[in-house]
Amino acid sequence: MPNLAPPIVQPSLAAIEALPPGISGVTPDALEAWFAAHGEPPFRARQVLDAVWRSGAASPAEVTTLKPSLQAALGDAFRWDTLGDTEVIATEGGLTEKALHRLDDGVAIESVLMRYPSAPGRRERATLCISSQAGCAVGCPFCATGELGFGRDLLTSEILDQVRSAVRRLAAKGRRLTNIVFMGMGEPLLNLDRVLEAVSALNDPARLGLGARQITVSTSGVVPGIRRLTGLGPQFTLAISLHAARDPLRDVLVPLNRRWPVAEVVAAAREHARATGRRISYEVTMIGGVNDTDADSDAIAGILRGQLAHVNLIPMNPVAHTPWTASPMPVIERFADRLRDAGLPTTIRRNRGQEVGAACGQLAAERSGTPAPAAVARRRDRLVASSAAALRGERSREAVPAGIDAGTEANSLPTAPGIAGATRRAAGGGARWHGARGPR
């Protein structure tokens, strides 16, 4: 019998950084410098960028404009693709494709490609949802990635190679990628340097060449990161995962609210909208009987009134190991109407890809094995008790999740052994990271 259990991996940024860099994360200037060191003119860099981003070359050997010795040197110096096996699961008649990528240290991450066919007055769109970290330290209890805990930051090339994978799959069908959202696994503003490098590659006409307005980065509310982005000027559309405007409830739903309370998050976002002239998108995952009452919609209307903002209501995707489910559609519609009455443009977003577990991190979490039933039961009980206390208006007495402050100081989280375990224990689970099984 083959051993079908996924390998247990210890995510380590230092270990993955010790490998040759991924070619997609290398800047054009650095590539030119590499060719210069090999006695080659700068246009060689352009030939490689075209091969990486346009022609879909599968290896340096396919860059036929380079002589074989240079192809070999390039292959030794850089990893052509940082994604090992990619398992693609299609659903909804092929409109949604979930990809589970295994990285070179065995860590599994996800991306989701969603196609929206053309309609009268609207061109076809293809939106890719990508991951910025393996796992997440924030630990939102309705999110499968949050339950997994923090693994490690993704390298710039690992972020970008998710995009190259989708571009190749689309190109094979004569289609183009039109939008990218950082709404997969991880908190992008806790890996901000690399996310910014990735966005500049996505924007760069010599690489992917996607407009800044076609890129959205979603944050759970890392205030120092939002302020840093404001200083940089418009880079992309900023989405804030609000979920609740009342601190006691947001403390439970988005645990970093204990560090940066909702008023600070909204103030930083308001300043970002003022300075950049760009509308902020606020996301609210609608959880039945938890954050969907009139008091919640009124609190959101109160905190966002008069802002350059748009609210997106998303029915909660069913996630294992929580006591919660999505709010019923009439409740969501009533919530939306109350926000609109308060002058806030509001849309309801239907979930895509539920069949393949398209909520962020769901597939990777499922593949990482099942926690012990007792741990699941404890987690559910704790969530029921903490949300009940929150609805009574009590602030959480639980600590800020481990690693959040460290992440904002260095813009990346420490990846010392045990961090994933520490975070997941804080979230009530029992942690071990498993790599995904590749296709068989």
Contact residues for ligand SAH, defined by CB under 6 A: 136, 142-143, 183, 187, 218-220, 241, 283, 285, 314, 316-317, 319, 359-360
Contact at 8 Å (CB) between 430 and 373? no
Instruction: Figure out which of the listed residues 83, 136, 217, 299 binds ligand SF4, where binding follows CB under 6 A.
Output: 136
The DSSP result for 150-204, as a single string, is: EEEEPPHHHHHHHHHHHHHHHHTTT----EEEE-SSS-GGGSHHHHHHHHHHHH-
The CB density around residue 69, as the number of other CB atoms within 10 Å, is: 9
The interface partner of residue 319, options being ligand SAH, ligand SF4, none and the CB cut-off 5 to 8 Å by kind, is: ligand SAH
Nearer to ligand SF4, 71 or 368 (CB): 368
Tell me whether residue 6 or residue 186 sits nearer to ligand SF4 (CB atom): 186
Q: Name the residue nearer to ligand SAH (CB basis): 63 or 223.
A: 223
Compare residues 136 and 413 and give the one whose CB is closer to ligand SAH.
136
CA 183 from centre of chain: 4
The residues pairing with 181 across neighbouring beta strands, listed in sequence order, are 129, 216
Please say whether the beta carbons of 407 and 135 come within 8 A.
Answer: no
What residues form DSSP beta bridges with 108?
Answer: 102
SS3 109: strand
E strands, 273-412, in order? 280-286, 309-315, 346-348
Compute the distance between CA of residue 17 and CA of residue 20 in angstroms, rounded to an integer. 7
- Interface stretch with ligand SF4, choices 33-41, 139-147, 195-203, 370-378 (CB under 6 A): 139-147
Interface with ligand SF4, residue 290, by CB under 6 A: no
If one asks whether residue 138 binds ligand SF4 (CB under 6 A), the answer comes out as yes
From ligand SAH, ligand SF4, none, interface partner of 139 (C-beta below 5 to 8 A by class): ligand SF4
Total residues interacting with ligand SF4, rule: CB under 6 A: 12
Which 142-171 positions form the footprint of ligand SF4 (CB under 6 A)? 143, 145-146
Give CA separation, 286 vs 123, 159, 407, in Å: 29, 28, 28
Say if residues 384 and 323 touch (Cβ distance below 8 Å): yes
Helix (H), strand (E) counts: the chain = 16, 12
Q: Applying CB under 6 A, does 360 fall inside the site for ligand SF4?
A: yes
CA 257 to chain centre: 19
Q: Which stretch binds ligand SF4 (CB under 6 A): 80-88, 131-139, 373-381, 386-394?
A: 131-139
Three-state secondary-structure class, residue 329: helix
Q: In this structure, what are the phi and psi dihedrals at residue 119, rounded to the nearest 5 degrees?
A: -140, 165
| Burial tier of 219 (Cβ tally within 10 Å: 0-12, 13-18, 19+) | buried
Q: Which does 52 bind (CB under 5 to 8 A by kind): ligand SAH, ligand SF4, none?
A: none
Residue placing its CB nearer to ligand SAH in the complex, 66 or 266: 266
**Both tokens of residue 366?**
């499922």
Options 187, 247, 251, 283; binder of ligand SF4; rule CB under 6 A: 187
Q: Which of 6, 186, 357, 428 binds ligand SF4 (CB under 6 A)?
A: 186
Decide if residue 140 touches ligand SF4 (CB under 6 A). yes
**Total number of residues shown for the chain:** 440
Q: Nearest Cα to 163, choosing from 206, 101, 104?
A: 101
Question: Of 32, 87, 110, 158, which is the active-site residue?
Answer: 110
- In whole angstroms, the minimum distance from the beta carbon of 264 to ligand SAH comes to 16
Rounded to a whole number of angstroms, the minimum distance from the CB of residue 190 to ligand SAH is 8
DSSP string, 38-79: TT--THHHHHHHHHHHTS--SSGGG-TTS-HHHHHHHHHHSB
The interface partner of residue 130, options being ligand SAH, ligand SF4, none and the CB cut-off 5 to 8 Å by kind, is: none
CB 353, min distance to ligand SF4, A: 16
- Of these partners, ligand SF4, ligand SAH, none, which one is at the site of residue 283 (CB under 5 to 8 Å by kind)? ligand SAH
Q: Work out what residue 297 binds among ligand SF4, ligand SAH, none; the CB cut-off runs from 5 to 8 Å by kind.
A: none
**What residues are paired with 270 via a beta bridge?**
none
Distance between terminal CA atoms of the chain? 14
Nearer residue to ligand SAH within complex by CB, 124 or 355: 355
* Known catalytic membership, residue 360: yes
Q: List the x/- string, 326-345, binding to ligand SF4 by CB under 6 A.
A: --------------------
**Cα gap 153→18, rounded to integer Å:** 14
Per-residue binder mask for ligand SF4 (CB under 6 A), 211-250, x = binder: ---------x--------------------x---------
Instruction: Write down the least CB distance from residue 168 to ligand SF4, Å.
Output: 26
Cβ distance to ligand SAH smaller for residue 218 or 368: 218
CA distance 407 to 381: 29
DSSP 305: T
> Which residue has the CB atom at the shortest distance from ligand SF4?
146
Active site residues: 110, 360
* Residues engaged in binding ligand SF4 (CB under 6 A): 136, 138-140, 143, 145-146, 186-187, 220, 241, 360
